[in-house]
Amino acid sequence: MKKSDEKLLSLVDALCTIDQVKELLRLAKERNPKEVRITAKTKSDLIQRNLREALDSGGIGPDKVYDLIRESEENGNQHIFYFKPRLKPTRDSMTLEKVGEGLWGKGWADKTKFPTANTPNNGYDYADFRSPDGKPNHWVLKIYGQLTYEHYTGKDFKEEGKVYKEFEPQELRVVLLARWNPPDVLEMRVQRDESRRRITAWLDKLWTMLGPAVKRSDFDPWNLKIARKRLIEEEDKYSSVYNFRDTRLLDPHSTRASFEANATAGYLFSSVEAKEAIRGLLDANSECTHLSVTWAPGKDGIPSAELRTLLGEREPNEIVIFGHFKAGDVDYVTDKLRFFNR
Amino acid sequence: MLPTNFDSLTAERPDLAATLRQVAGWIRQHPDWNLIDPRELARTVKNVDAWALASALHLLVEKGLFRQVYMVTTPSGVLADGEFEDPRQIPETLPDRFNRTFETAESDIIAVLTAPR
């Protein structure tokens, strides 16, 4: 097995669920019944034995494994920052060809060897640039990074009247993604992290690496405040589509009010009192700054599962997606935001 | 919704039958809860002896109708997302309901009952 295939397996282990790997093996088994086995006692057996054997025998091509990794690491467990082009010429220039040429010059498709599973030792590098299947006007730019940071272990030492805190270096694999979602939405996706400083730095890094082709100054943040308000106001009408659990409101005098349903799977409007209070504040010109929305699985399979989002984390154009999903699931959320933000 | 049929248990432990019926009633009144938070249960269920309530919850876990897991309260007092089989699995930090990180060492750990796997 090649070194790059070893890397693939470790990424599958880190990013994909047992069900996702089994589904991949099942589809491969239909075509190659003798070369692929599915049953395994542990996730490790499933990946290190079954998937490895399938790759070695050619029962599964590495491209299918890349697809699985892509699906997981690109869609979910992320902050998505939405932007819109200021002018039509910018919008018109957001094609795969023009952006590719801006980043790597003419003949970029031959010069670049995408996709790659290799993560740079320290720093960031382009990992993929493509149009998603069946969407020729869309594109996805992926960047891999490797970061070493100092993590406080929680241990302190006292010596000669001074206190020393112990830090240990920790390595972090980073996946950054820019996604052009026509006709006019640019999504900047960075992975979730406990450090807001890192999230902001990753967003800046994404803009910098996209810079030769796409300028930050040509875009405005897409403020989702209308969507947050409408989602609350029209909840009765769309109760089979979504519900929400927590919200924060800011009144015209900058007084903040937070409402959090008691149960983790709770629904805020199951309390009539909370519903009346929230609607009263909105009627009095308060702004909804945060709204945690759970999107129900669709009858057509999109979203494929219950999908929890937080609309408006620190920035008005920001959402957080909790958990890994399929590409169509995240696009579904963006489409709904387009609908409700009018 | 969480299980509410405790008939076999009430037959086995008639001394806890009334309490088990109250627990079942509480579950039915809270269809959007996917767990039993004993703090909330104790606050809203009336005229129940604390020992009987604790025994009933213990019985539900012992008989496999529920699973005991641990959760952490956020600084605002609600439960943070994330269930842990063992308190030692709780990470140093967790996000609150608005994705702000807080230190779990400063928060309460609550043993809650959830549906079995």
Residue of chain A whose Cα is closest to the Cα of B31: A266
B49 and B80 housed in the same domain? no
A141 and A237 housed in the same domain? no
Question: Would you place residue A4 in the very low, low, confident or very high pLDDT band (cuts 50, 70, 90)?
Answer: low
The minimal CB distance from B101 to the residues A154, A194, A320 is found for A194
Question: Would you place residue A113 in the very low, low, confident or very high pLDDT band (cuts 50, 70, 90)?
Answer: confident
The minimal CB distance from A265 to the residues B33, B74, B101 is found for B33
Query: What distance, in Å, lies between the first and last C-alpha atoms of chain B?
Result: 14
Question: Is the separation of the CB atoms in A14 and A117 below 8 Å?
Answer: no
Decide if A194 and B93 are in contact by the 8 Å CB cutoff.
yes
CA distance A267 to A112: 48
Decide if A263 and B37 are in contact by the 8 Å CB cutoff.
yes
ipTM: 0.87
A58 and A88 housed in the same domain? no
B58 and B12 housed in the same domain? yes
Structural domain span for residue B27: 7-62
B53 and B75 housed in the same domain? no
Position B2 in a domain: no
The minimal CB distance from A264 to the residues B30, B81, B92 is found for B81
In the 8-state DSSP scheme, what is residue A107?
T
Q: How far is A134 from chain B (nearest CA, A)?
A: 34
The pLDDT, as a whole number, for residue A238 is 96
Question: Would you place residue A264 in the very low, low, confident or very high pLDDT band (cuts 50, 70, 90)?
Answer: confident
A211 and A273 housed in the same domain? no
B76 and B103 housed in the same domain? yes
- Residues on chain A touching B36 (C-beta within 8 angstroms): none
Number of domains composing chain B: 2
Decide if A263 and B30 are in contact by the 8 Å CB cutoff.
yes
B14 and B48 housed in the same domain? yes
Smallest CA-to-CA distance from A333 within A300, A306, A314 is with A306
Q: Is A148 exposed, middle or buried (0-12, 13-18, 19+ CB in 10 A)?
A: exposed
- Residues on chain B touching A245 (C-beta within 8 angstroms): 97
Q: How far is B14 from chain A (nearest CA, A)?
A: 30
Taken in order B52, B54, B60, B63, the sign of the CA dihedral is negative
B58 and B73 housed in the same domain? no
A142 and A247 housed in the same domain? no
The pLDDT, as a whole number, for residue A287 is 96
CA distance A250 to A258: 9
Cis check: omega of the bond before A183, within 30 degrees of 0? yes
In degrees and rounded to multiples of 5, residue A149 shows phi and psi of -135, 165
> What is the pTM for the complete model shown?
0.88
Question: Is the separation of the CB atoms in A5 and A118 below 8 Å?
Answer: no
Q: If contacts are CB pairs under 8 Å, which of residues 211-230 in chain A contact chain B?
A: none
Q: Which of A13, A45, A73 is the last residue of a domain?
A: A73
Q: Which of A50, A73, A96 is the last residue of a domain?
A: A73
CA distance B112 to B69: 6
Q: Which among A264, A270, A292, A293 is the top mutation candidate for probing chain B, defined by the most B β-carbons within 10 Å of its own β-carbon?
A: A264
The pLDDT, as a whole number, for residue B93 is 92
The minimal CB distance from B33 to the residues A266, A290, A320 is found for A266
B87 and B107 housed in the same domain? yes
Quick: pLDDT tens for A204-249.
999 999 999 999 999 999 999 999 999 999 999 999 999 999 999 9
A169 and A48 housed in the same domain? no
B29 and B73 housed in the same domain? no
Residues 6+ apart with CB under 8 A from B4: B24, B27, B28
- Would you call A315 an interface residue with chain B, using a CB distance cutoff of 8 Å? no
CA distance B71 to A71: 30
The minimal CB distance from B78 to the residues A260, A310, A313 is found for A260
Question: Is the separation of the CB atoms in A118 and A124 below 8 Å?
Answer: no
What DSSP string describes A114-151? ----PPPSSEEEEEEEEPPTT-TT-EEEEEEEEEEEEE
- Would you call A264 an interface residue with chain B, using a CB distance cutoff of 8 Å? yes
The pLDDT, as a whole number, for residue B87 is 95
Decide if B99 and A262 are in contact by the 8 Å CB cutoff.
no
pLDDT of residue A101 exceeding 90? yes
A147 and A245 housed in the same domain? no
B93 and B55 housed in the same domain? no
Single-letter amino acid, residue A84: K
* Average pLDDT over every residue of B76-97: 94
B74 and B53 housed in the same domain? no
Residue found by looking up tokens 């490790």 in the block: A44
Number of domains composing chain A: 3
Position B1 in a domain: no
Question: Would you place residue A3 in the very low, low, confident or very high pLDDT band (cuts 50, 70, 90)?
Answer: low
A86 and A214 housed in the same domain? yes
Decide if A292 and B97 are in contact by the 8 Å CB cutoff.
yes
Quick: pLDDT tens for A19-73.
889 989 998 888 888 878 898 888 889 999 999 998 888 888 888 888 888 888 9
CA distance A189 to A309: 14
Smallest CA-to-CA distance from A337 within A52, A39, A83, A18 is with A83
CA distance B107 to B88: 14
Question: Is the separation of the CB atoms in A83 and A317 below 8 Å?
Answer: yes
B44 and B75 housed in the same domain? no
- Residues on chain B touching A322 (C-beta within 8 angstroms): 81
The pLDDT, as a whole number, for residue A36 is 86
- Would you call A117 an interface residue with chain B, using a CB distance cutoff of 8 Å? no
CA distance A223 to A342: 11
B24 and B39 housed in the same domain? yes
Decide if A310 and B98 are in contact by the 8 Å CB cutoff.
yes
Structural domain span for residue A261: 225-340
Q: Which of A221, A239, A268 is the last residue of a domain?
A: A221
